[in-house]
Structure 1
Amino acid sequence: MLRIGIIGTGGIAQAHVEGYRAFPHECEIVALADALPGRAAEKIVAFGLPDAAAYDDPAEMIARERLDLVSICTPPSTHASLAIAALDAGVNVLVEKPMAPSLEECDAMLAAQERSGRLLSVVAQNRFRDDLATLKEVVDSGLLGSISHVRVDSAWWRGLPYYDLWWRGTWEKEGGGCTLNHAIHHIDLLIWLLGRPDEITAMLANAQHDNAEVEDLSIAVLRYETGLAQLTSSVVHHGQEQEIVIQGANARISQPWKVVAERSRPDGFPEEGGDAALVARIEALVAGRAPLAHRGHEGQIGDVLAAIREGRAPIADGRDGRSAVEVVTAIYKAGFEREHVALPLSAADPYYRAGQLVAHAPHFHEKTASLIEAAS
């Protein structure tokens, strides 16, 4: 039975609690820690964990509880120090997205993982969704041919009070705006589907949130060897209609699910009816795939537990988390400096280092409130 600790008891911690509860014969939540005095004790009651211990100091929890795995559910600026402390104490780590605000911190976490021999996984719960796993399977099948264009809409909507929470809307504590903290999931999916791009350019804006330093909208163009991808990151989109559209040489697929395959007439225009045979092959592949047994955070937690048990790497590991942060960093550099940014970013690049993004970032506005707890 694996002993689980959770650091940070805000909103996302509930998803981790429910995820671990889905595997009662494999793990037990034995402790919660939160730096806000008394909060961990309150959440033990709220989460219905009467046998768990409460700590106001995460370091004390790590030192005393003989943990096998810890979930880190704190603001991004704390991820590196907490993960490194846990790994160096011999504890496996599952850390919420984004992995860390800088590549330097990501690499320090990876170094700790390597010297400890423990597991490091970064939350990428959308990999554990049937609709998105379907896209991955079709792309990997080769039926689409070479990829020409991908459109990713990470479209969310948040009102002004969203940025009143003390750490949100600041470059120092949150690490960025919607590009880092909302689109990180779609960026992970894009890398999962296509790999790392070669070059990025972007523009950033704060269109609707005058109580936040950070962007609430960005549009990036990513160059791949054979095509382009465009990514919209937003918390100003009414309807929150998120979409991924993948255009290949042979066919188009998308989430929400749709498949279309054109076929050329002798004059190059599309033939009426398209390539029905290819559409049927893709639909048959999709119909034949087995649904995931566990989804979202629950699916990722199940994979992490299995990885610990089997001595293998998790599906979403630290290097995957770093890759997403690298793309975000390149988007910010491109937007701040108004240039095209080539990947990979080297350790000599100023934006690689901790604190440099904060130093270069524009303040679109200044925060006007700093609440300890989010409004319910």
Structure 2
Amino acid sequence: MLRVGIIGTGGIADAHINGYLAFPGECEIVALADVVAGKAAQKAETFELAAAAFDDPLAMIASGLVDLVSVATPPSTHAALAIAALDAGIDVLVEKPMAPSLEECDAMLAAQERSGRVLSVVAQNRFRDDLATLKDVVDSGLLGSISHVRVDSAWWRGLPYYDLWWRGTWEKEGGGCTLNHAIHHIDLLLWLLGSPTEITAMLANAQHDNAEVEDLSVAVFRYDRGLAQLTSSVVHHGQEQAIVIQGANARVSQPFSVVAERARADGFPEQGGDPEVVARIEALVADRTPLAHLGHEGQIGDLLGAIRDGRSPIAGGHDGRNAVEVVTAIYKAGFERQFVSLPISASDPYYRAGQLVANAPHFFEKKASLIEAAS
């Protein structure tokens, strides 16, 4: 029975708590920690957990009470807490983004290597049936070579969203919607297609004059002969996320649909398309076995299995780092108005912790700093 501790008891901690509670035969939540005095105890009471409450996360790590911790704190604290836990012999699940810089990500991976423990980075959308379906179709080869991918990480947040003390600043949040919202779609793009070779981007703050960070970015990725484009936003009414993958043989998208064209003798599309290609893709989808556990619960179940079986988790530390590398490239491209080649080397100034904060534009200045978000 794994003893679980959760560091950070804000809203996202609820998803972790519910995820662990779904596996009562494999783990037990025994400790909660938060730097805000009394907050951990309040969360334990809310969920009726017989768990120790700590106002110092490092004290919980040093207590010897836990075998596995979830780090659900602001991004700027992820590296220090994860490294402390790994060096104490504790397995770690860290919320997205893994860390604000590649230097910090690599320090976390080094701690994992020297400790021999498991490090997983939250990528809960890999544990959604609709997105796992896209992955199966891409991996099947039925689409043919990929021509173009359009990813819309489209969200909407009002001005009060950035009043919370750690949001809306480059130093504490690490970035805006590109890092803290689109990181999930970036992970999915990497999961589906692998890493691009080159990135360019533009950034803006279109609607939030109480935040330093961007609330909108548009990036273009080069993949071999094809291209991908990513819109990251917290200004889109309707919050309609989408992934559209265009291959040589067909298009598949989420929300799920499949379309395949077939050429006439003159090259124009034939009426009715190519029903045989569509039928093969739809048959593949129909034969899928639905995932037993979804979202955070699915990822936690995979992590528990990885610890038990001595294997790597589906979303490991290197996956988290790869997503941060893409975000770093988007920010560098946007700040410097250039094309950025991947991978980013350790000699690149943007690799280092603090470099992004030093170079980032302040679109506006933060106007409020609330300890708790308004309800």
For residue 310 of structure 2, what is the aligned residue in structure 1?
Answer: 311
Contact 2:151 2:230 in 1 (8 A): yes
Identity across aligned pairs (percent)?
A: 83
Measured in 1, the distance between the counterparts of 2:222 and 2:305 equals 36
State whether structure 2 residue 210 is matched by structure 1 residue 240.
no
Matches within 5 A, 1:99-178: 99-178=98-177
Residue 30 of structure 1 corresponds to 30
Match of 1:343 in 2: 342
Q: C-alpha separation between the residues in 2 aligned to 1:339 and 1:273? A: 43
Matched, 1:200 2:225: no
**In structure 1, how many angstroms separate the alpha carbons of the residues matched to 2:64 and 2:157?**
38
Q: Report which stretch shifted further, 202-211 or 62-71.
A: 62-71
1:367 aligns with: 366
Alignment-derived partner of residue 6 in structure 2: 6
Q: Secondary structure at the match of 1:247?
A: strand
Q: Distance in 2 between matches of 1:34 and 1:244?
A: 36
Matches of 2:283 and 2:266, distance apart in 1: 30
Q: CA deviation at 1:219?
A: 0.1
CA distance in 1, matches of 2:321, 2:47: 31
Partner SS for 2:173: coil
TM-score of the superposed pair, with normalisation by structure 1? 0.99
Task: Give the match for residue 20 of structure 2.
Answer: 20
List alignment gaps of at least 5 residues for structure 2: none
In 1, distance between residues paired with 2:292 and 2:39? 33
User: What per-residue deviation string (whole Å, max 9, x for no partner) do you get for residues 257-311 of structure 1?
Assistant: 0100001111100111111001000000000000000000000000000000000
Tell me, yes or no, if the aligned pair for 1:31 and 1:65 is still in contact at 8 Å: no
Show CA shifts across 1:62-106 (max 9, x none): 111331110000000000000000000000000000000000000
Give the ranges of 4+ consecutive aligned residues of structure 1 lying more than 4 Å apart after TM superposition: none
Secondary structure of 1:36's counterpart equals coil
Q: Which residue of 1 aligns with 2:271?
A: 272
1:89 aligned partner, one-letter code: A
TM-score normalised per structure 2: 1.00
The equivalent of 1:184 in structure 2 is: 183
Query: How far 1:48 moved relative to its partner?
Result: 1.6
Shift of 1:365: 0.2
- How far apart are 1:174 and its partner, in Å? 0.1
Number of residues paired by the alignment? 375
The CA RMSD over aligned residues, in Å, is 0.5
Distance 1:226 1:303 in 2: 35
The one-letter code of the counterpart of 2:4 is I
Shift of 1:350: 0.4
What SS is found at the alignment partner of 1:144?
Answer: coil
8 A contact 2:199–2:220 mirrored in 1: yes
